Structure 1
Amino acid sequence: MTALTHERPEGTVPPAAPGGRPLGPRITAAVVVLAGAGLLVRAIRDAAQSGVTVDGPRLAPLIVTGGWVVLAAAYTIQTWAGKYTEAERVERAPRASWLVPAGLLAALVGYALVLEYTVVGYVPATAAFFVAAARLLGDRPVRAVILRDVVVALGLSFAIYLAFTRFLDIQLPAGVLPL
C-alpha cells in the first residue's frame, strides 16, 4: 500500500481548469473584478448624493475605481483567453516560498515602527524600506543594483516628502534631516 501525499513531483504544476489555464489566476481575476465593481457602485452612489466637482473629494474615487474595473476586466479577459502549452505552464509555475512575503511583512512592520517610535524621519526610513523591498523582490546581484536602488529610493522619498508637505500641506515626520 502506498501513502498518499499532497506533494507534486519536481517540475509539475498545480491543476488547471478545462482549457489548460490554471485556476488561481481565474479566481483572482473574478474576485478583483467583483471587488472593483462593488467599490465603483459605492463611489457612484456617494457622488450622486453629494455631487461631483473637479476640486471635490468625490472625483478621485470615481477615477480610481473606474480604472481598477477596467484593468481588472482586461486581466480577466487575459486569464480566460488562449491556452498554455505544457512547457509554458511549467515555466510559469511559481516557486512556492514564503521567505519573500515574510521578509516584506517584516520590513513593513519595521518601517512602521521606525516611523512611529524613532526620530529618524520619513525620508531615511522610506529610503531604507525601499532598498530592503527592492533587494527582497530582486534577483540580481547586490553589486549590480545597490547604487541604483539607493539613488532611486532617496529621490522618490524626498520627492514624496516635498509633494506632501509643500503641495498638499500634509505633515510627514521630518526626523533628523532639516527639511
Structure 2
Amino acid sequence: MTQPAPPEAASATPETSDATEPSPLAGLVAGAVLVAAGLGLFTRALTVGADRGITLGGPTFAPIVVTGLWVLVAIAYLGTQAARWRRRTTQPNAARPTWRVPIMLLALLIAYAVVLKYTTVGYVLATVAFYVGAAQLLSTRPRREVIVRDAIVGVVLSLTIYLSFTKLLGIALPAGVLPL
C-alpha cells in the first residue's frame, strides 16, 4: 500500500520565471527618476518664478503648480512601487495581474464617448450607464448587492455635474432625451 503525498508536496509548484514580466526593481527606478526629474523642474520653475515674480495670474504660477503636482504624484507612485517590491519579496507566488479589467474599462470608455458624440441619449443617461458599468467592473462584491447603490450614485453624480456645468458655468452638455 502506498502512502499519499503530504499536502505540502502536492501544492508545491516549481518556480518559473516569466521573461515578459518586468522586474519590480524597474518600477522603483522609474519612480526615482520621475521624482528626481520633477524636483529638478520644480526647482527651475521656482527659480524662474522668483526672477519674474510669482502671482496668481502670472505666467510662472502654472509651471510651479504643475511641477509641484508632478512631484507629489511621482512620490505616490514611488511609494506604491516600494509597497509592490515589499509584497513581492515577502510573497513570491502572489497572483499575477490580468489585463481583462483595464481592457474592458477602455472599451467602456470608448463606447461612452461614441454614445455621447453620435447618439441622442444625452449626457445624464450615458454617464449613469458608464458609471454603473465601470463600478461593476471594478467592484469585488456581487452585482446584486451593489447595482442599486451604483445606479443611485450614478444618477446623483451625473445630474449634479450636468446641472453644474449647464446652469452655473454656462457650458452646454448634450441634454439628450431628458427634458433638462
For normalisation by structure 2, the TM-score amounts to 0.67
Counterpart for residue 173 of structure 1: 174
Return the alpha-carbon distance in structure 1 between the equivalents of residues 107 and 140 of structure 2.
Answer: 19
* Superposition map of 1:147-162 within 5 A: 147-162=148-163
Count of matched residue positions in the alignment of Structure 1 and Structure 2: 166
Instruction: State the identity %.
Output: 49
User: Any unmatched runs of 5+ in structure 2?
Assistant: 1-12
* Superposition map of 1:14-163 within 5 A: 22-30=24-32, 32-33=34-35, 54=56, 62-76=64-78, 79-80=81-82, 84=86, 88-90=90-92, 93-163=94-164
Q: Is the 8 A contact 1:13 1:89 kept in 2?
A: no
For normalisation by structure 1, the TM-score amounts to 0.67
Q: 1:115 to 1:78 in 2, by over 3 A?
A: closer
Q: 1:86 to 1:59 in 2, by over 3 A?
A: closer
User: Any unmatched runs of 5+ in structure 1?
Assistant: 1-8
Which of the pair has more CA radius of gyration? 2
Superposition RMSD in Å: 4.0
Return the alpha-carbon distance in structure 1 between the equivalents of residues 151 and 42 of structure 2.
Answer: 37
Q: Is the 8 A contact 1:165 1:172 kept in 2?
A: yes
User: More helix per residue: 1 or 2?
Assistant: 2
Return the alpha-carbon distance in structure 2 between the equivalents of residues 95 and 166 of structure 1.
Answer: 47
How far 1:143 sits from its partner (Å)? 0.9
How far 1:109 sits from its partner (Å)? 0.8
Return the alpha-carbon distance in structure 1 between the equivalents of residues 16 and 30 of structure 2.
Answer: 21
Counterpart for residue 4 of structure 2: none
How far 1:30 sits from its partner (Å)? 3.7
